[in-house]
């Protein structure tokens, strides 16, 4: 009997790497852009992106910036809304100064009720 050695086997290729879990970087950038237009949505997306990044073990600066800017824009929007409302009420009050109580029509067709 002859000694037959089997041919050398080819090295086994490594197992394919699993698809990487989302690290939240792209969502962090989206949150940053969205926070300029819709602060509440930017805040929510920023927190989701930061949570994904924490699970992946990476830092996500755009998500953190989106959260901060979202809150800044939200507070600024509230302050502006209050200022506009206050100025509108003060403007109507100034129009009614020295006038008898009643309903008046302005020259541009707006109706004003003076208490």
Report helix, strand and coil shares of the chain as percent, to nearest 5. 55, 5, 35
Q: What is the mean pLDDT of residues 94-114?
A: 79
Highest mean pLDDT, choosing among 8-12, 49-53, 106-110: 49-53
Mean pLDDT of the 82-87 span: 88
Q: Give the model's pLDDT for residue 2.
A: 65
Read off the pTM: 0.63
Q: Give residue-wise pLDDT tens across range 32-51.
A: 999 999 999 999 999 999 99
Tell me which residue has tokens 């090295």: 11
């Amino acid at each position: 009997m002859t000694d037959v050695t089997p041919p050398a086997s080819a090295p086994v290729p490594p197992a394919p790497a699993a698809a990487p879990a989302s690290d939240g970087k792209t969502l962090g950038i989206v949150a940053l852009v969205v926070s300029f237009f819709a602060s509440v949505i930017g805040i929510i997306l920023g927190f989701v992106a930061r949570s994904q990044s924490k699970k992946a073990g990476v830092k996500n600066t755009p998500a953190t910036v989106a959260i901060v800017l979202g809150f800044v824009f939200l507070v600024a929007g509230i302050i502006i809304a209050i200022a506009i409302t206050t100025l509108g009420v003060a403007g109507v009050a100034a129009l009614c100064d020295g006038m008898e109580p009643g309903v008046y029509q302005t020259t541009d067709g707006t109706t004003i009720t003076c208490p």
